[in-house]
Structure 1
Amino acid sequence: MTRTQRQDHSRTTELHDRLWQGLETLRRHARARLEIDTRALAALRIALGTIILLDLFHRAGSLEVFYTDAGVYPLAAYESTYGRYTGLSLHAASGELWFQQLLFAIAGLFAVALILGYRTRLVGFVSLVLLFSLHARNPAVLNGADRLFRVLLFVALVTPLGERWSVDALRRGSARRTVVGFGTAALLAQPIVVFTQNAILKHEGERWYAGEGIGVAITDDAMTIFLGNHLGAYPGLLEALNWAWVTLLAGSAAFLLLTRGWLRVPVVFAYLGAFAGLLLSFSVGLFPFVLAAAVLPFLPTQFWDALERLVPARVAHWQPRTSWLGPVGRPPLEWRVLETLRQRGRDDVASFVTDYGRSFLTIAGALVLAWILLFGAAHVSSYDVPDEINSPHLNEQRWGLYAPDPSESYDWYGTEARLEDRSSVGAFGDENITADRPPDASQEYEDFRERKYLESVRDSGWGDSEGIIATSYADWACEQAIEEYGDDEVDRVIIYRFNQPQPLEGEYEEDSTHYTVIERSC
């Protein structure tokens, strides 16, 4: 080798070494920001199971009304509306109350098993199936938080949720401290896509980036609750909160991904504080709980170590015994099968199954990450997803809460019964229906799901879905009125929509108007 060749070879080797060192540094920095402490995953698992229980408990109060043939959305309505969900609901196997109660109880048991971390991935998958089935049974009561919840649960299942603080961990006898991979990257990407997309959609409006978004949203009396009812007296504070919220949304990628260690902790708690404010101010369903759960994986190892140091030593060092679990404490079935194969000299088969399982999870995590980024970007850009994969069941990454602008009016509804003597009364035994603006429009609804359903009734009454949702509601209202006033007394029911432009500078300048959604003979 000549001197020139040796010099070229030396430069090539040096360049290769620098490139390798650069890639290694990049990999190390990426790993530090994308790895998740397994205690954070455990906290997420517990949060997901708890949200399922809270959701079931909340829905149970209107179980008969929304999920049985005796309510506003019988199976006949399910089969004729929301075609994308037809045939996808276990809850639609029967319109009887006892059947719905049974499925609710089963879903609750699986939620408890998820909290405890028993066969976590299998239990989580069954919980997801039951959750989707429940959503499909009556989509008219859903809002974006329900969709975000099932998406988050789905994404979380490609990560080892049962690695710590779980029955599964006791059965294994070991646990990793942190994990990193495509699955964890997908889990961290999901809330960032939600925040960033929402920030972009808000930019298409006029209010949020003028500092007025929260000020307008807080005047929506049908959505504003508790703390929100008092914030309108402080316009300066509302503008500051507006800019803080927009900053958290638009800067989420930088705040949550570029930070690490202790620097990330106050950032996460800033988001948690914002979600607490959302919970106390607006009736938006599960959004505050699901968003809070979604940012838990960002809490770093330093936080969990410090939290454990606050626990009394006798508690921190207490170790439960697998013998206490009885039959549940046995090693997982798949472990016992693999061990049997090895004992019979089939190490090759056992190794193939183990490697195949790991490869499958890696591929699944990569596909989920690609799904989040592809569909999330498509919704805020001119890019069209290829027709081959543009399914309504995949196109779930649409996050437009209060975007592009908050509504500048709000609705409430009234159901009137016309009696045979031509008098008018409230169909449900309440006071006569009037167009007077209520003192607090949010109190006109039992909860946010009734508000969502009545919005669907309104849309159906204007001609969507062939009017089936509106007519089913009117038929149910007839039954309630007949039960209240007698079969021979009720002639027809009328559902009214009342619309009130929101106040300007604290003063209502326009009266409410009302429209007939549907009038139906009983």
Structure 2
Amino acid sequence: MPAAHAPSTTTTDGDIATAASLRGRIQSHLGIDPRALGAFRIGIGLVIIADLLVLRAPQLAMFYTDDGVFPRATLAEVAPTLARWSLYAISGSLWVQALWLGLTVVLAACLLVGYLPRFAAVGTAVLLASLHARNPYLVNGGDTILISVLFLAAFLPLDAQWSLRRRPRPDDDRILSIATATILLHVVVIYAINAVLKFQSEAWTSGVAVQRIFQLEDFVYLLGPTLAEYPAVLTGINWLWTAVLSASVLLVAATGWLRIATVVAFIGAHLSMAATMRLGAFPFVMCAVLVLFLPPRLWDAIDQVVTKRDIPSRLEPIRREIGDSTPSGTRLLVRRGLRVTATGLLVCLFIVLVGWQLVAADLVETPSSGAGSTLESASWAFFAPNPPDSYSWYVVEAEYESGTVIDLVDGETVDFDRPPNAMERYPTTLWKRYGTKSQGVDGAAQPVAANGCERTSADVESVTIYRVEQPVDADGPVGEPIPHQQATVACG
């Protein structure tokens, strides 16, 4: 009888090689270098701390307490859901707001140095969401992107590199998981939605959108006013930014130098925005997130610089004090048990984020969507489909018992003429953001007028707030300013 054939290992070896090759290809597109995770963690931590300490802390009393322009009673009236779950709405006292803000800074610092970074990411996201819920009129798209990224980052090994907690370096040059794929695709979706909306816009497809944006005098700053004098350059920027957004798929589709070039193009665009427009933390959040796409060949060069400076050995004494985070066998079993649940939660979170932005961008219609909806105000569309066609400033009219009327903003007589620089009518960037976001919201201007009464002399009879709107087109202001009375409060 014929001899039995021995089991062939050729097919098995071939299958293993094919699987390894497929994993390698996926890894090159959806994997993240551990050093990129470290740089991302450090960058996000720095952005959060700077935003809290430089932008928000100095005006904590004005915008987040009951003695300011947006007390909890107003929040409960205009957004009762936010008032119920915001931790900052537990009390209207300044010390409570300062306590929560300080805790957020501490958690952001833990994220920065890599101490319990996953816990720090979730805690920071929750506290930031609570801060923004306390005053939703100080929130822009960059703030909501930051929170979404922090929640997604909690599923990543953020202590894989440049961290105070030691984690064994993975054998592969990239970490590949559902979490890495999700956060990378999340960024691509943000840009892709923006690109789709721009192609639906007449202003963007005709090349005048950027020119119109740079006519918003309360919005452009630093190099912005100078750049506004060159319409041909602005037209080129219009088409260039549209092209870069359209190429966002290359962030995951490309590898090697093409991916590096795509990342550099996006980072360059965001830094240019930061140098010309008031966008808050948004450009810097996006720059920090974009480093996740940088491939190993670039990090190898950076790693050589870090090694030459002997930074790892300098951190070693601190690491010894904190202790080794190498997990035990029991902890490994627990982690494996949680991994399936975490994966399901991550996928659901990604679906919710994408669905939210499709609704916010009006790409999907729902019964609750509308021009004044909360979803729209939290959209990541950014000047899409159409940029604003006007800018505004405020006149705060105080009438004295003697009949004298002055503008509390500058102490001069009241007039509605266009100022040389509309931004000078706002004390700070947060005031500008609050004035822009809260315009047309019932009840939002009343506390501001009342606050004006409290900050004036006793012989002021009333304070009236006007929002003055200036229409613009690509060539500049159009027509005369249009005043809109917002609120009047009797003082005394």
> Same-fold call, TM > 0.5?
yes
Q: Which amino acid aligns with 2:34?
A: T
- Write the mapping of 1:225-244 to structure 2, written as runs, cut at 5 A: 225-244=221-240
- Identify if the C-alpha distance between structure 1 residues 385 and 163 changes in structure 2 by more than 3 Å, giving closer, same or farther: farther
- Write the mapping of 1:78-97 to structure 2, written as runs, cut at 5 A: 78-97=75-94
- Identify if the C-alpha distance between structure 1 residues 459 and 18 changes in structure 2 by more than 3 Å, giving closer, same or farther: farther
The CA distance in 1 between the partners of 2:358 and 2:70, in whole Å, is: 35
Q: Does 1:447 align with 2:416?
A: no
The CA distance in 1 between the partners of 2:86 and 2:204, in whole Å, is: 38
CA-atom RMSD, angstroms? 3.0
Where does structure 2 lack aligned partners over 5 or more consecutive residues? 1-9
The equivalent residue for 1:477 is 452
Q: Which amino acid aligns with 1:215?
A: Q
The equivalent residue for 1:7 is none
The CA distance in 2 between the partners of 1:207 and 1:18, in whole Å, is: 55
Q: Does 1:401 align with 2:396?
A: no
The equivalent residue for 1:346 is none
- Identify if the C-alpha distance between structure 1 residues 250 and 361 changes in structure 2 by more than 3 Å, giving closer, same or farther: same
Deviation at 1:24, TM superposition (A): 6.5
Q: Could you tell me which of 309, 323, 333 is aligned with 1:329?
A: 323
Q: Secondary structure at the match of 2:313?
A: coil
The CA distance in 2 between the partners of 1:307 and 1:283, in whole Å, is: 31
- Identify if the C-alpha distance between structure 1 residues 269 and 415 changes in structure 2 by more than 3 Å, giving closer, same or farther: same
C-alpha contact (below 8 Å) 1:496/1:516 kept by paired residues: yes
- Identify if the C-alpha distance between structure 1 residues 375 and 306 changes in structure 2 by more than 3 Å, giving closer, same or farther: same
The CA distance in 2 between the partners of 1:405 and 1:319, in whole Å, is: 51
Deviations 1:141-175 (A, max 9, x none): 11211111111111111211121111222xx4555
The equivalent residue for 1:412 is 393
Q: Secondary structure at the match of 1:61?
A: helix
Q: Does 1:267 align with 2:248?
A: no
C-alpha contact (below 8 Å) 1:375/1:396 kept by paired residues: no
Q: Secondary structure at the match of 2:462?
A: strand
Q: Does 1:493 align with 2:468?
A: no
- Write the mapping of 1:300-315 to structure 2, written as runs, cut at 5 A: 300-311=295-306, 313-315=308-310
Deviation at 1:401, TM superposition (A): 0.9
Q: Which amino acid aligns with 1:218?
A: F
The CA distance in 1 between the partners of 2:85 and 2:296, in whole Å, is: 40
The equivalent residue for 1:518 is 487
Q: Which amino acid aligns with 1:137?
A: R
- Write the mapping of 1:40-439 to structure 2, written as runs, cut at 5 A: 40-57=36-53, 58-169=55-166, 172=167, 174=169, 177-253=173-249, 255-311=250-306, 313-315=308-310, 318=313, 320-321=315-316, 324-325=318-319, 328-329=322-323, 331=325, 335=327, 338=328, 352-377=333-358, 383=364, 398-427=379-408, 430-439=411-420
The CA distance in 2 between the partners of 1:238 and 1:302, in whole Å, is: 34
The CA distance in 1 between the partners of 2:483 and 2:143, in whole Å, is: 30
- Once the two structures are overlaid, the 10-residue window that deviates more, 298-307 or 512-521, is 512-521
The CA distance in 1 between the partners of 2:281 and 2:306, in whole Å, is: 30
The CA distance in 1 between the partners of 2:132 and 2:236, in whole Å, is: 37
- Identify if the C-alpha distance between structure 1 residues 453 and 395 changes in structure 2 by more than 3 Å, giving closer, same or farther: closer
C-alpha contact (below 8 Å) 2:31/2:176 kept by paired residues: yes
- Once the two structures are overlaid, the 10-residue window that deviates more, 267-276 or 424-433, is 424-433
Deviation at 1:224, TM superposition (A): 1.0
- Identify if the C-alpha distance between structure 1 residues 260 and 386 changes in structure 2 by more than 3 Å, giving closer, same or farther: farther
Deviation at 1:100, TM superposition (A): 1.5
The CA distance in 2 between the partners of 1:109 and 1:126, in whole Å, is: 10
Deviation at 1:329, TM superposition (A): 2.0
The equivalent residue for 2:6 is none
Q: Which amino acid aligns with 1:500?
A: Q
Q: Which amino acid aligns with 1:510?
A: G
- Identify if the C-alpha distance between structure 1 residues 127 and 235 changes in structure 2 by more than 3 Å, giving closer, same or farther: same
Deviation at 1:314, TM superposition (A): 4.9
Deviation at 1:316, TM superposition (A): 5.7
Q: Does 1:505 align with 2:475?
A: yes
Give the number of the structure whose alpha-carbon radius of gyration is greater.
1
Deviations 1:337-361 (A, max 9, x none): x56x6xxxxxxxx664232133233
Give % identity. 31
Query: How many residues end up aligned between the 2 structures?
Result: 476
C-alpha contact (below 8 Å) 1:183/1:368 kept by paired residues: no
- Identify if the C-alpha distance between structure 1 residues 23 and 432 changes in structure 2 by more than 3 Å, giving closer, same or farther: farther
Deviation at 1:17, TM superposition (A): 11
The CA distance in 2 between the partners of 1:95 and 1:406, in whole Å, is: 36
Q: Secondary structure at the match of 2:413?
A: coil
Deviation at 1:72, TM superposition (A): 0.5
Deviation at 1:455, TM superposition (A): 2.9
Where does structure 1 lack aligned partners over 5 or more consecutive residues? 1-12, 342-349
C-alpha contact (below 8 Å) 1:418/1:491 kept by paired residues: yes
The CA distance in 2 between the partners of 1:395 and 1:426, in whole Å, is: 33
- Identify if the C-alpha distance between structure 1 residues 230 and 114 changes in structure 2 by more than 3 Å, giving closer, same or farther: same
The CA distance in 2 between the partners of 1:434 and 1:393, in whole Å, is: 33
Deviation at 1:104, TM superposition (A): 1.7
C-alpha contact (below 8 Å) 1:64/1:70 kept by paired residues: yes
Q: Which amino acid aligns with 1:121?
A: R
Deviation at 1:92, TM superposition (A): 1.4
Could you tell me the TM-score, scaled by structure 2's length?
0.88
The CA distance in 2 between the partners of 1:199 and 1:81, in whole Å, is: 32
The CA distance in 2 between the partners of 1:211 and 1:414, in whole Å, is: 34
The CA distance in 1 between the partners of 2:159 and 2:235, in whole Å, is: 42
Deviation at 1:393, TM superposition (A): 10
The CA distance in 2 between the partners of 1:381 and 1:433, in whole Å, is: 40
Q: Which amino acid aligns with 1:515?
A: H
